[in-house]
Amino acid sequence: MKLDKQDISILEAIQKDGRLSNRDLAKEVSLSPSPSWRRLRALEDAGVISHYAAVVDREQVGLSIMGFAHVTLHDHSSEKVKRFDRAIMRAPQVLECHATSGEHDYMLKVVAPDMASYQDFLSEYLLKIGVVRTVNTSFALKQQKSTTALPMDQIK
What pLDDT tens digit does each residue of the chain (156 aa) get?
899 999 999 999 999 999 999 999 999 999 999 999 999 999 999 999 999 999 999 999 999 999 999 999 999 999 999 999 999 999 999 999 999 999 999 999 999 999 999 999 999 999 999 999 999 999 999 999 999 999 999 987
Q: Measure Cα distances from 73 to 51, 85, 86, 102, 133 in Å.
A: 31, 11, 14, 13, 5
Q: Report the side by side order of strands in the sheet with 132-139.
A: 94-99, 106-112, 65-73, 132-139
- CATH number, residue 35: 1.10.10.10
Q: What pTM does this model have?
A: 0.89
Report the number of distinct structural domains present in the chain: 2
CATH of the domain at 95: 3.30.70.920
The torsion defined by the Cα of 139, 141, 145 and 149, in degrees rounded to 10, comes to: 30
Q: Are residues 80 and 117 in the same domain?
A: yes
Using an 8 Å Cβ cutoff, are 83 and 76 in contact? no
Which residue range forms the structural domain that includes residue 92? 65-139
